């Protein structure tokens, strides 16, 4: 299988041909974004690990599980809901 991350790989060539993708955007940037968004969207992290072909769960979570501003809001809302149900 050809490596999508190489400078001449199929993904790099596709990105270069796609209109609207900034010149500085690399296949790794797209991979990082896709994996981060999948985790943020609630996709099972073990599935994301499998799709990304990472050897360890830690690699997926430590490298790609970015935090978003909305995560803090969601945490607060979840705690509020939990607190309300305990009253």
Q: Identify the domain containing residue 57 by its residue range.
A: 25-85
Answer yes or no: is 12 within a domain: no
pLDDT in tens, 4-37: 555 556 667 777 777 887 878 877 888 888 888 8
Residue with tokens 């050809």: 2
Answer yes or no: is 47 within a domain: yes
Answer yes or no: is 49 within a domain: yes
pLDDT, residue 7, reads 56
SS3 label, residue 12: helix
Answer yes or no: is 11 within a domain: no
Q: Taking Cα atoms as reference points, which of 44, 48, 40 lies closest to residue 66? A: 40
Treating both helix axes as pointing N-terminal to C-terminal, what angle do 27-40 and 10-17 enclose, rounded to 10 degrees?
90
Answer yes or no: is 65 within a domain: yes
Residue 7: count other Cβ atoms within 10 Å of its Cβ: 9
pLDDT, residue 3, reads 53
Whether residue 1 is predicted with pLDDT greater than 50 in this model: the reply is: no
Answer yes or no: is 10 within a domain: no
Answer yes or no: is 40 within a domain: yes
pLDDT in tens, 66-84: 777 777 888 889 998 876 6
Number of domains in the chain: 1
CB 12 within 8 A of CB 4: yes
Answer yes or no: is 16 within a domain: no
């Amino acid at each position: 299988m050809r490596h999508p991350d190489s400078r001449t790989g199929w993904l790099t060539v596709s990105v270069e041909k796609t209109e609207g993708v900034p010149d500085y955007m690399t296949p790794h940037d797209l991979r990082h974004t896709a994996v981060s968004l999948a985790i943020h969207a609630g996709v099972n992290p073990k599935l994301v690990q499998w799709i990304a072909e990472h050897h360890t769960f830690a690699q997926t979570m430590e490298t790609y599980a970015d935090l978003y501003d909305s995560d803090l809001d969601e945490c607060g809302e979840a705690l509020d809901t939990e607190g309300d149900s305990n009253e």
